[in-house]
Amino acid sequence: MNLNYLESIRLLELECVLAEMEKIKLGEHIILEIGAGTGWQSKKLAEKGYSVESIDIDSSGYLKNRVWPITNYDGKHIPFPDNYFDVIFSSNVLEHIYHVVSFQGEMQRVLKPGGTAIHVVPSGSWRFWTSLAHYPFVVKTIKKIITKKLVPSKNGSISDEEKIVKKINQLSKFELIRKVAFPSRHGEIGNEITELYYFSRYRWFKMFTTTDWKIEKMFTNRLFYTGYTTFGYVLSLKLRRYLSYILGSSCHVFVLRKG
């Protein structure tokens, strides 16, 4: 994964969240970012004048690339007292929490009465186009292996192709064929097919309403991209905005209120 490319995507996504933050008029109140990754978005929120606390699991793949102070936690119990935060924010995180339904209660525990949660979550459109992007990614990786052109990324991170190569030696022939023929699931439940449902707006809506959230607003991030960093910088961010009207947006944004 090209971290510079991913950072540009995440910061652009944050713009629509910032518009919602401004409506809340936070003042000196505190925001909690769950699954902060590198901390790009937390850092940007702090630069906007907000007080921000960030948490992530200690096995995060972005541990060595953090640009903001992030507290490690066990992924189940948020290390803060009851009714502590005014806003909870997450970006492309909830799909990676296996116990996501019960975790809603933990978020509500640390959120003040009447507090707001803003979640950016993947869409079924992202799942569909990422599944299609799997095959050119496989061809590209095989070509690089054959020509021995796999090189470390400039920023020192491990590329997707390098990760694949490292895993190949650990797979049986059957498992290898399965990996080549079928895309892998992205989240913690289901598979590459059922994620079309799990990432749908309908499913997210149902999960939030059945876990006692009041949905204040829902909209898309109005940005098209896929897994595997398909086309990368070849497609400008401006063009990706236009493509979202044709190919669908990659994420839903839910603004929730604690009752």
Contacts of 171 (CB under 8 A, 6+ apart): 179
pTM greater than the 0.75 cutoff: yes
User: What number of other Cβ atoms are within 10 A of residue 74's Cβ?
Assistant: 10
In a domain, 164, yes or no: no
Distance of CA 140 to the CA centre of its chain: 24
* Number of folded domains that form the chain: 1
Backbone φ and ψ of 89, nearest 5°? -130, 140
Torsion sign (Cα): 47, 48, 53, 55: negative
**Residue closest to 250 by CA, chosen among 20, 92, 132:** 92
- Provide the residue-wise pLDDT of the chain in tens; the chain has 259 residues: 578 888 999 999 999 899 888 887 666 679 999 999 999 999 999 999 899 999 999 999 898 899 999 999 999 999 999 999 999 999 999 999 999 999 999 999 999 999 999 999 999 999 999 999 999 888 887 777 776 655 555 555 556 556 666 666 676 777 778 778 889 899 999 999 999 999 999 999 999 999 999 999 999 999 999 998 777 778 899 999 999 999 999 999 999 999 7
**Residue closest to 224 by CA, chosen among 3, 11, 13, 4:** 13
Rounded-to-integer distance, Cα 100 and Cα 79, Å: 17
Rounded-to-integer distance, Cα 199 and Cα 123, Å: 5
In a domain, 142, yes or no: no
In a domain, 59, yes or no: yes
Rounded-to-integer distance, Cα 12 and Cα 221, Å: 9
**Residue closest to 124 by CA, chosen among 255, 253, 251, 257:** 251
Helix (H, G, I), strand (E, B) or coil at 162: helix
In a domain, 50, yes or no: yes
Strand pairing partners for 58? none
DSSP letter, residue 230: T
Rounded-to-integer distance, Cα 85 and Cα 117, Å: 10
Rounded-to-integer distance, Cα 186 and Cα 130, Å: 10
Q: Which domain holds residue 16?
A: 3-125+188-258
Helix (H, G, I), strand (E, B) or coil at 55: strand
Q: What is the CATH number of the domain that holds 241?
A: 3.40.50.150
In a domain, 227, yes or no: yes
Q: What's residue 156's pLDDT?
A: 56
Retrieve residue 13's tokens.
């996504």
The pairing of beta strand 30-34 with beta strand 85-91: parallel
In a domain, 136, yes or no: no
